[in-house]
Structure 1
Amino acid sequence: MKIEYIPHPEEIEIQPKDFIYVNYRKIDNYAVSGYFTFLSTAVGVKVEKIITKRLSYLGNKFKHKLHNMIHSQLIGGCGKYIESLIGLEELCDGCEKCSNIAKTCLEYGPLRLSTLQTMTYSKNYKKLHVTDKLFEDIAEYCISKSKNKEGCFKELDETILSTISCDKLVIWVNESRLHPNEETRNHMHMPREVIDIILRKWNVKSVKLNMIFYTNGGLCSVDWLQYNYFTPVRLNDPYSITEKSSDLKFSHVDVRMSDSIYCVRGFGNHHSEIIVPRGYHNFIPNIRRLFPTDKISIDLSHWFYIAETDIEKKMSTILQVVTMEKQRKLSLSMKFFVKSSIVKKVNEETNKAELRKLAPKYRHRRVNFQSCVRRSLPIDDVDQYLEEFNQEKWIGRRFQVEDIENLFNFNLNVYIKEKELEEGFDKQLLQEYPNSFVGHFYE
């Protein structure tokens, strides 16, 4: 079950609305309790997975009420059916009810420090979710409990226990945290030694980076930086200053950007074209330094911020970003969702539509490629607040760049809405431009 609040994409300071979305359906706040009762009694739904998103935006009174309703009406007293609980600690900052559920489910988080400190039991999780703020909180907690660097790292070793482990560590990275002495929001530094000890002691096999424009941990603390005990690292720092990890290796790293703004812009636009560049052209090299892997997959699942014009330019820019540092022994896959309008252009002299070509260095790969279905609200007019999310089918094609000498393989899987392909291109135009990019979608 998915329970979420939908603000405007770039909204941080907002006035809470009087509704939320439950399983992509708009429910007024006053009707939420009745809807939960309907699901659990009349329909007889046994809820196994609960994902809550952006509920920290809600007003305090309803936020606490919703937290209690989720526990009493969906989870139940012992939560025996719950296998996955994601995001609920945003509403309570880590209460006893939530930490008790963490003991029994297979996927949990993002963890608050208070919940982490209760995890003294032995358990293997399928996934554990953490945040950049948790890394910061752990560093400051260990500093507060010690008198010197040696004591701090001893406290760190006792705080992160090896009794728990997780197959995949999901790291939520807030792109718009605020430094107390700065005005520009950005992804802030994280204590590397905290990250490394978690990766090692929890026996993490793979990593997922969840890039999020804004979470409720917006204001960062800088006290830990003043002690120089920990090495500050960021995914958008110049990669030349990030040391490579010598003893860690992960099967793969996944990157989710559906809630991203700054990082996703950094992939689709050259840093010289961005008004306030934030360094995300360093993203891939830094991933391989912090989380060594030979396989990275990235989901650019919304198209609004990077793909409004010129598919050739966007594909070339993406290639330039991911190969800024020459990569060896890397398989990189990216899902790229675009509007059909970016594959066309209007000839200014003739005022006629023309079709753009495939960007240089790419070649179309004929693979058995599946379509996919995505649910979304209209990003460019979210104030419509539809009663239900749109559900649309997307058609994908694979375009590949391969460097055999360096064992580098880049698969850019581009998706266009099926409806736009059916309505947006006539046969005569496609025949006139047989080498067009979009022509591959009709093969």
Structure 2
Amino acid sequence: MTSVDEELSNKVFSNPYLMENILSHVTDEIVRNFEMRLTSKAFNNGCLAVVRAKFRVLSIVFEEKSNGYRGLTNEFVHLIVYEVEISKISPCFLFLKNILRLKVEELEVKEIWKLEKTLRKQFHDSIHSDLIGDNHKSIRKLTGLEEACFGCSKCLKFIEHVQEYGPLRFRSLKVIKKPISIRRLIVNDLLLEQIANVCVKDSSTKEECYRKLNSMINVPIQCDTLIFWISESRKLSRLDENETHQYMPREVFELILG
């Protein structure tokens, strides 16, 4: 390398904006070979910056894979497109929060219901403590996480400041007392089914059932867009191999729309 080339190289590496712009084109390679960031302090800062930008909008998807040995399966989580073993997810979250200094802005959790109950709770708690921590105010979108806890106070506090939230669980619906305004709220078929079941169980006449239904859905929530996640065919448990047809309670659906 000539002195001119070396001087030019030093100028590039000493300019954080130019460095980040160059590294943004090889983000996937940086994630897969993260030790390369230790080349220099400037290079490290540049790598952290571009990876941080990529992970601000984070999709977390659970998946089971057969390992080909006696039918056993391994459990993985996909962070965007990067595969992480479920047993290593907590250290991964801590790295994102503490080393990468990541503040997630949009968090989408999918297929978390497939996890075994105890592991599902651990995964849910790890997202709150190890990934989000004290940075909950940076979240603008949170979807799918209530499918792990069925509506806890930690999850529900996000509905006060995010732009998109859901699917809302029955437990959350019952505890909302203060007025809430949100851009996009997600409601799924399970909530409609739970509302219908409670109304029928606690009522002896059709009129009483409708009064109960009216009072139950009359919660102080305003949203610009109400999104329905509805399927009349679904697996009733993580162990089911086939989907079961479930009739949607149309009375609840129509009353919410009305």
Give TM-score scaled by structure 1 length: 0.40
Deviations 1:314-366 (A, max 9, x none): xxxxxxxxxxxxxxxxxxxxxxxxxxxxxxxxxxxxxxxxxxxxxxxxxxxxx
Q: Which residue of 2 aligns with 1:173?
A: 230
1:194 & 1:100 partners in 2: Cα distance? 26
> What CA distance in whole angstroms lies between the structure 1 residues aligned with 2:94 and 2:218?
39
Does the 8 Å contact 1:108/1:128 carry over to 2?
A: yes
Task: Number of aligned residue pairs: give it.
Answer: 192
For residues 42 and 184 of structure 1, the distance between their equivalents in structure 2, rounded to whole angstroms, comes to 43
Report the equivalent of 2:248: 190
Q: Report the counterpart of residue 187 of structure 2 in structure 1.
A: 130
Q: Is 1:54 the counterpart of 2:114 in the alignment?
A: no
Larger fraction in strand: 1
User: Among 60, 64, 77, which residue is 1:20 paired with?
Assistant: 77
Match of 1:44 in 2: 101
1:16–1:59 contact (8 Å) kept in structure 2: no
Q: Given the alignment, which residue of 211, 216, 220 partners 1:159?
A: 216
Q: Structure 1: how far apart are the matches of 2:235 and 2:126? A: 32
Q: Does 1:63 align with 2:120?
A: yes
Deviation at 1:7, TM superposition (A): 4.5
Offset of 1:162 from its aligned partner?
5.3
Q: CA deviation at 1:147?
A: 2.3
2:173 is aligned with 1:113 = no
- Whose RCO is larger (CA < 8 A, sep 6+)? 2
Please state whether the residue corresponding to 1:174 is helix, strand or coil: coil
TM-score in terms of structure 2 length = 0.66
**What is the aligned-residue RMSD (CA, Å)?**
2.5
Identity of aligned residues (%): 35
Structure 1 unpaired stretches of 5+: 9-13, 201-443
Opposite residue 180 of structure 2, the aligned amino acid is: K
Instruction: State the alpha-carbon separation in 2 of the partners of residues 177 and 18 from structure 1.
Output: 21
Distance between the aligned counterparts of 1:16 and 1:116, measured in 2? Answer: 36
Asked if 1 retains the 8 angstrom alpha-carbon contact of 2:76 and 2:86, the reply is yes
C-alpha distance in structure 2 between counterparts of 1:136 and 1:199, whole Å: 15
Shift of 1:78: 7.3
- Within the candidate set 176, 185, 207, 1:150 is matched to 207
Q: For residues 253-293 of structure 1, what are the alpha-carbon distances to aligned partners after superposition, in whole Å with 9 as ceiling and x for unaligned? A: xxxxxxxxxxxxxxxxxxxxxxxxxxxxxxxxxxxxxxxxx
> C-alpha displacement at 1:146, in angstroms?
2.3
Give the match's secondary structure for 2:218: coil
Of Structure 1 and Structure 2, which has the larger fraction of its residues in helix? Answer: 2
| CA distances 1:222-273 after superposition (whole Å, capped 9, x unpaired) | xxxxxxxxxxxxxxxxxxxxxxxxxxxxxxxxxxxxxxxxxxxxxxxxxxxx
Please name the residue that 1:94 is paired with.
151
Q: Which amino acid aligns with 2:102?
A: V
Task: Name which of 131, 141, 165 aligns with 1:84.
Answer: 141
- Listed one character per residue, the Cα deviations across residues 135-176 of structure 1 (whole Å, up to 9, x for unaligned) are 111011112232211111111111112521222222222353
Is the contact made by 1:107 and 1:126 (CA closer than 8 Å) also made in structure 2? yes
**Aligned equivalents of 1:127 and 1:186: distance in 2?**
29
Which runs of 5 or more residues in structure 2 are unaligned?
A: 1-57, 66-70
SS at match of 1:52: strand
Q: 1:105 to 1:16 in 2, by over 3 A?
A: farther
Secondary structure at the aligned position of 2:226 is classed as: strand
